[in-house]
A and B are shown apart, each in its own frame.
Chain A
Amino acid sequence: MEERITLQVARYRPEQESKPTFEEYEVPLREEWAVLDGLNYVKDRLDGTLSYRWSCRMGICGSCGMTVNGEPVLTCAAFLSDFAPGPVRVEPLRNFPVIRDLVIEMTDFVHKLGRVKPWIVADDEAPPEGAHGEYLQTPEELEEYHQYSMCINCMLCYSACPVYGLDQSFVGPAAIALAQRYNMDSRDAGNALRMAELSGHDGVWGCTFVGECTSACPKGVDPAGAIQRYKVTAATEAAKSLLLPRAAEK
């Protein structure tokens, strides 16, 4: 007889209930199965109405973030056997409105991401110097931002962040880490453009360094470190503009 484990899955069907309830499903407990495999089993065999997001199954796409036994995790990387003998409680990511079952509404995050301009802003006065018109970069320059470039926009950090939970206007960990990913890129000239967003009212100063974003990050990005580093940058720039107002304008 195959071993089984119980999933307690949050269900929210807005057409029939005003708040989430839990439903239990028994799924096979296989060594190689992640929580996502258990959910796929439920969807395929037990209850086709269950809604959740997923795509790559290998920790790259950032779609399958959920709250498992109270922790924000990628369900493709959380193995059922680690929760044996169960039950395993699967809920949507915290700090986000829920559309249905395990599917959260992420428009707020997507807008914030756009606001920090997470792309290379070219400097028109310093064209690429490579022989074929490409930007050149040393391994040391790559090392500066490489860690931050690993972000997969999975939003686990927003789910773990109590500041974002209490004040949704906070730009939040991933958006700031991604802004830093470009600020620290030697090819980028967009530092000043991002400053208003990052050092403004809803920017880095909202962070009180709880550090849970870094603990939750499945890719080792360290958003908390990025935010603290940007605080130093923002404070230095503010001091500069106060002491040397003309130099800051240039």
Chain B
Amino acid sequence: MSTSTDPGFQARLYRPPVPRFWWARRRSYLLFILRELSSLFVAWFVAYLLVLAYAVGQSESAYQRFLDWSANPFMIALNAVALGFAVLHAVTFFQAAPQATVVRLRGRRVPPTLLAGPIFAAWVVVSGFLIWLVVLA
């Protein structure tokens, strides 16, 4: 009897190739690839923040050079794209978080969609506070 480990059986199997644009097949796959890509931009923001902290620590003129460097059009464009990806990263993460967290109220699981509300609200509040702190205050 032929079994799945027989070389002859294995040779006769058809192994469909993965199409190069498999991720364009549906919205969720595209989102998955974009989300994977977003981690690069999140890493970029970490590096950017470290450079900022370093410049601030060096001297006022170093900080001014950092600001001038950040103001060139390429950097503005890069940071705008990075911001878009960081928002995508945050939104998909906050959408995922309630699925992984089980909160019970009177013995019943709170629906994940209800949990997402407070998480997004907290995100807006923290972001608002940071905008106030950095830009307005």
Seen from chain A, the residues whose Cβ lies within 8 Å of a Cβ on chain B are 12, 14-15, 18-20, 70, 94, 97-99, 105, 107, 140, 162, 165-166, 208-212, 215, 224-225, 228-229, 231-232
Contact of A20 with B14 at beta-carbon distance under 8 Å, contacts A140-B107, A162-B32, A210-B32 already known: yes
Candidates A105, A212, A225; contact of B13 at CB < 8 Å: A105
Residues of chain A within 8 A (CB-CB) of B113 are none
- Closest-CB distance, B85 to chain A (whole angstroms): 15
14 interchain pairs, CB-CB under 8 A: A18-B14, A19-B14, A97-B13, A97-B14, A97-B15, A98-B15, A98-B16, A99-B13, A162-B22, A162-B23, A162-B32, A166-B18, A212-B29, A229-B102
Q: Report the minimum CB–CB distance from B10 to chain A (whole Å).
A: 8
Shortest A41–chain B CB gap in Å is 25
B7-42 residues at the A interface, CB under 8 angstroms? 12-16, 18, 22-23, 25-26, 28-29, 31-32, 35-36
Is the C-beta of B101 less than 8 angstroms from some C-beta in chain A? yes
**B interface SS class:** helix
Q: Which A residues are CB-close (under 8 A) to B107?
A: 140
B99 interfacial contact with A, CB 8 Å: yes
Task: Name B15's closest neighbour in chain A (CB-CB).
Answer: A97
Q: Cβ of B15: which chain A residues have Cβ within 8 Å of it?
A: 97-98
**Counting chain A CB atoms within 10 Å of each CB, which of B12, B14, B25, B107 scores highest?**
B14
Report the bound CA distance from A212 to B31 in whole Å: 11
A21 to chain B, nearest CB (A): 11
- Using known A-B contacts A105-B4, A140-B107, A165-B22, determine if residue A228 contacts B13 with beta carbons closer than 8 Å: no
Chain A residues near B28 (CB-CB < 8 A): 210-212, 215
In-complex Cβ contact of B100 among A97, A162, A231 (8 A): A231
Q: Which of A140, A228, A229 has the most CB of B within 10 A?
A: A228
